[in-house]
Amino acid sequence: MRVIEWPHFLEEALPFGGASSAITIGVFDGVHRGHKALIEYVATFGEHTVPVVVTFRRSNYKKDRSPGRKHLGEISSFNQKIAAFESLGISVTIVIEFSESFRHMSGTEFLRILHEHGKMSFLAVGSNFRCGYKLDTDALLMQKFNAQRNIPTAIVQVLTEGSTTISSSQIRAAIGKGDLKAATAMLGYPFTIDLAGVSVLPAGNDAAYGISDHGRILPPPGRYSVFLREIIDGKSIKKPAEILVDGGNLIISGYSTDACPESVEFIP
């Protein structure tokens, strides 16, 4: 899968000659069950159409324009998100940094760029999706704008788990109060923390990973049963363990600072 930064996309467009693209847009923090249903629309749209995801490097950009709104942290790392896109059949991911220039772009201008630079021939968005300056463009307006250019637009209804709408916000809320069973049900897989690049400090005979320092969410303080994923002799191995969450840190007993597992998978 190709990962293309937004400025490069504006200069060079998509690197697939004359092929058109099927595109979906979103933050996709956690890549939960609802996200997967949306991505499947573009991944299976057409044999000769390039499936593309347009996403943001950070999931908490909304906090930047809502000063009173608390952001609990990101569910997944950027690398986890990219790996999920690739596993779902996406060929290109276009990554946007939420800059001042992008912040003031209208939703219809954003669509025009995707049409002209990305040769967009199909768009899929969630029914609650909005984009553009001050969220000026909702899913219905996107569909109308694209219809004038003969670009079909699928508006995909949100999924629910019981009576709860599946969303990244609801998953963060569940993790934040320690309801890992609910978070797992909405994600469609166990909540997993990627430890790659996370700062680690010695804590006696243990190792403390500064998860919250990297803008990532943790469940409430306490002890949790987990699987640690390690690479041993070139193979990925999962082994059961117990970890401690304390003060924004994830503490693993018996680990040195130079023997970092790849990830921690919480057992719901």
Inside any domain, residue 157: yes
Counting the structural domains of the chain, the total is 2
Coil, strand or helix at 159: coil
Would you say residue 52 has pLDDT above 80?
A: yes
Q: What is the pLDDT of residue 65?
A: 42
Contact 22, 45 (CB under 8 A): yes
Which CATH number belongs to the domain containing residue 133 in this structure?
3.40.50.620
* Same domain, yes or no: 37 and 154: yes
* Same domain, yes or no: 119 and 31: yes
For residue 166, what is the DSSP state?
A: P
pTM of the model: 0.91
* Same domain, yes or no: 42 and 128: yes
Domain extent at residue 250:
192-266
* Same domain, yes or no: 77 and 146: yes
Q: What is the pLDDT of residue 63?
A: 46
Which of 157, 243, 233 is CA-nearest to residue 200? Answer: 243
Tell me what the mean pLDDT of segment 124-143 comes to. Answer: 95
* Same domain, yes or no: 153 and 217: no
Would you say residue 66 has pLDDT above 50?
A: no
Q: Which residue has the higher pLDDT, 231 or 216?
A: 216
126, burial (CB in 10 Å: exposed 0-12, middle 13-18, buried 19+):
buried
Across the chain, mean pLDDT equals 90
* Same domain, yes or no: 43 and 116: yes
- H and E: helices and strands count for the chain: 9, 17
Would you say residue 17 has pLDDT above 80?
A: no
Inside any domain, residue 145: yes
Inside any domain, residue 179: no
* Same domain, yes or no: 43 and 112: yes
* Same domain, yes or no: 31 and 98: yes
Inside any domain, residue 173: no
Inside any domain, residue 181: no
Inside any domain, residue 110: yes
* Same domain, yes or no: 21 and 139: yes
Range from 19-33, 59-73, 86-100, 133-147 carrying the lowest mean pLDDT: 59-73
* Same domain, yes or no: 45 and 138: yes
Inside any domain, residue 169: no
